[in-house]
Amino acid sequence: MIQVKGVWFHYQPEEAPRKDWALQDINLTIMPGEYVSVIGPNGSGKSTLSRLLNGLLLPVEGEVRVGGRLTANTQDLWYIRQQVGLVFQNPDNQIVAPTVQDDVAFGLENLGVSREEMKERIRDALEAVGLAGMEQREPHHLSGGQKQRLAIAGILAMQPKVIVFDEATSMLDPQGRKDVLGIIRQLNEKGTTVIHITHSANEAFLAKRVIVMAEGRIQLDLPADELYPIALILEKWGLDVPLAVRLHHRLLGHGWHLRERITSLEDLVTDLWRFLSKD
Ligand SMILES: Nc1ncnc2c1ncn2[C@@H]1O[C@H](COP(=O)(O)OP(=O)(O)OP(=O)(O)O)[C@@H](O)[C@H]1O
């Protein structure tokens, strides 16, 4: 679905030494239907990468292809932007219309979609994010989580194959975050390719594959269940380590006879339960 080959990027390439570039030799293939998270410290290049994936930015060197088409080809950009939707951190910056319904319609108006189809797409998109019945509400009266769900509905109505969530949960309260994470999971289960950029290791491990970025480079690219047992390594890049991993290591260190390897919090709980019920 997405191929990134030998990509180098800097915002002012003529001024900076190569080692300071925002992206350095990025190579990445994302297959249809994948759920991939990208985690990394501030300034590691995650957002820059997300903007390269739908042609908002173009590589200085290397290439990005979506469905085989190059983002550098101006005549393919329209197609590419329809295929890859971006949801950003701040929902307030993504809302453009006076009602929920008009906001979802906004992106569709340029697509030449018929009136009937538009109605259908708006209905389906609002339903998918749990905002059905709120069509006439004014977006600025919605909660942060509802606004972010509205932003997602606007993207969904365009029927993209891939959605990139760029820190899309970081401004939300715990409930809003939970709702959005649930929507992300459901979208992926229905076949949408998901790329989830996040600071949170706990969120990152909801994906099936985790990419760790630091200093403009991909440092690790592993199935989540292979990274989980060695997740203490995330500290090396100043990232949080999931609580279950820290707890597991501590308990092993104190001589608890748990399994050497856990692949999720549920896994640890099951193992603890087994251990405690032996006595
Ligand atoms: N619009 C811009 N103009 C100039 N430099 C930028 C711009 N946006 C980002 N940069 C620089 O590019 C590098 C990568 O930034 P980027 O925002 O992609 O990282 P990030 O991993 O998404 O960080 P964060 O987690 O803080 O959002 C940083 O050195 C940053 O200062």
Q: What is the pLDDT of residue 55?
A: 94
Q: Find out whether the beta carbon of 42 lies less than 6 Å from any atom of ligand 1.
A: yes
Contact yes or no for 244/262 (Cβ under 8 A): yes
The residue contributing the CA closest to ligand 1 atom 26 is 42
- Angle at CA 162, nearest 5°, toward 68 and 125? 140
For domain 2-234, the CATH architecture is: 3-Layer(aba) Sandwich (3.40)
Q: Residue 251: enclosing H or E segment and its boundaries?
A: helix 243-253
The residue contributing the CA closest to ligand 1 atom 30 is 43
Separation CA 208–CA 35 (nearest Å): 6
**pLDDT exceeds 70 at position 279:** no
The residue contributing the CA closest to ligand 1 atom 1 is 11
Across all residues in the chain, what is the average pLDDT?
90
ipTM score here?
0.96
- What does the pLDDT average to over 84-112? 87
Closest CA to 1 of 26, 30, 28: 30
- What does the pLDDT average to over 205-232? 92
DSSP of 77-117, one letter per residue? HHHHHHHEEEE-S-GGGG--SSSHHHHHHHHHHTTT--HHH
The residue contributing the CA closest to ligand 1 atom 6 is 11
Contact yes or no for 73/67 (Cβ under 8 A): no
- Side chain identity, residue 114: S
Contact yes or no for 35/201 (Cβ under 8 A): no
Closest CA to 77 of 55, 61, 57: 55
Residue positions counted in the chain: 279
Q: Find out whether the beta carbon of 40 lies less than 6 Å from any atom of ligand 1.
A: yes
Q: Find out whether the beta carbon of 22 lies less than 6 Å from any atom of ligand 1.
A: yes
Domain parsing of the chain, residue ranges: 2-234, 242-279
- Side chain identity, residue 77: L
Report how far ligand 1's centroid is from the alpha carbon of 43 (Å).
Answer: 5
Long-range contacts of 105-114 (CB under 8 A, 24+ apart): 105/157, 106/154, 107/154, 107/155, 107/157, 107/158, 108/157, 108/158, 111/82, 111/158
Residue whose entry in the numeric block shows the structure tokens 């809302």: 95
Question: 81-85, 171-175, 217-221 — which is least confidently predicted?
Answer: 171-175
The residue contributing the CA closest to ligand 1 atom 24 is 42
- pLDDT tens digit sequence for 29-64: 999 999 999 999 999 999 999 999 999 999 999 999
pTM for the structure as a whole: 0.90
Most confident segment among 48-57, 95-104, 169-178, 270-279: 48-57
* Ligand 1 atom at minimum distance from 47 CA: 22
Closest CA to 201 of 39, 75, 79: 39
Report how far ligand 1's centroid is from the alpha carbon of 47 (Å).
Answer: 7
* Ligand 1 atom at minimum distance from 44 CA: 21
Contact yes or no for 27/54 (Cβ under 8 A): no
**pLDDT exceeds 80 at position 209:** yes
Q: Is 229 helix (H, G, I), strand (E, B) or coil?
A: helix
